[in-house]
Amino acid sequence: MKLVINIPCYNEEKTLASVLSEIPRKIPGIKIIEIQVVDDGSTDRTSEIAASFGCKIISHKKNLGLGRAFKSGVEAALESGADIFVNTDADNQYPSSHIPELIAPVMAGSMDIVIGNRVPWKVEHFSPLKKILQWFGNLVVRTLIGIDIPDTVSGFRAYSKESLLRLNITTKFSYVLDTIVQAVKMDLTVSSIPIRTNPPTRKSRLFKNIFQHMWKSGTSLVRLLIIYRPFQFFGVLAITTFIPALAIAIRFLIFFFLGIGKGHVQSLLFAVVLVIISGLFLVSAILAFLVGMNRKLNEEILYYEKKRTFRSSNQPKTTKVKK
């Protein structure tokens, strides 16, 4: 069984060596451990440090974002014949000593994805505000996507080969919400294990502050809900516009039968506008659902195409000998 440990990097020369030195070189049940670094357009010595540790290096000519770096890592791992894929950060946030327990459910075949739960509300270096916002954000995500994962934005994860073939990265910002929502819709099994975290070595490069992070994560989640749960998303919007329209219309009718409706015609016009908007949301839900059906067919085609492509790339090449 082959394990590929993936580390997306962007100017991580100060911490990369610490991360690489702590990664276990032997794990029971794993025959091959390969470490690969995705250099996402770094301008420092990131690639040089990775090479000194014997890592496989995937280089981007410019910085493309964490989502694209993760995608490149997944493709490289599949091409090399990975059975299990672990993604960790280069800032040394996640202790590599947790890797054996992180991959254990995937090795056993009981889980497709395992997420390292930092237990955010117990992390000492998180401010009280960040703990509250992390808790609230995780609650919203778990409620909307229907899965009980305490730390939905953790980047310390293990993936089975099947999940890598099924998932399709569609964002440049971050893959964490993208892959969870897809996993739920594709009936992949997802769980988490508690982990500790190392003290912070630098500020996050994905966002300037927690509010920007919540904004980016929120807009990403809305986009994913439109793609994967169009009826729920547009249905809620349709209901929230139709109910006020109905209330205003009933109010107008009451005034009308009381003989004072002439002064409230504008309310009726407003109700009509809300009904039209509600109808547009409903039509959008139907159209998005039909597009979603086509997307599912394309995902299935892409899944089998990736299986065929990566199976053939893993097979040893044979040469014909002329007699």
Which listed CATH number (3.40.1020.10, 3.40.30.10, 3.90.550.10, 3.40.50.620) goes with 2-228? Answer: 3.90.550.10
Distance of CA 86 to the CA centre of its chain: 14
| pLDDT given at position 321 | 41
- What pLDDT sits at residue 159? 97
pLDDT for position 263: 66
The alpha-helical segments, DSSP class H, found in 206-264 are 210-228, 230-257
Q: Which of 194, 42, 26, 179 is nearest to 123 (CA)?
A: 194
Residue 12 tokens, joined: 């991580």
Please give the pLDDT value at position 254: 83
Please list the rounded mean pLDDT of every run of 10 residues in the chain (323 residues).
Answer: 95 92 93 96 94 95 90 94 94 92 95 88 63 68 75 90 92 79 89 86 61 72 80 89 91 80 77 93 90 88 90 57 42
pTM: 0.79
Which residues neighbour 190 within 8 Å (Cβ) at sequence distance 6 or greater?
111, 112, 113, 114, 115, 147, 149, 180, 183, 184
What is the predicted pLDDT for the residue at 203? 65
| Cα separation values, 272 from 196, 240, 284, 295, Å | 56, 14, 18, 34
Other beta carbons within 10 Å of 247 = 12
What pLDDT was estimated at residue 225? Answer: 79
Specify whether the backbone of 319 is left (phi greater than 0), alpha (psi in -120 to 50) or beta.
beta
* Model pLDDT, residue 318: 45
CB contact at 8 A, 226 and 146: no
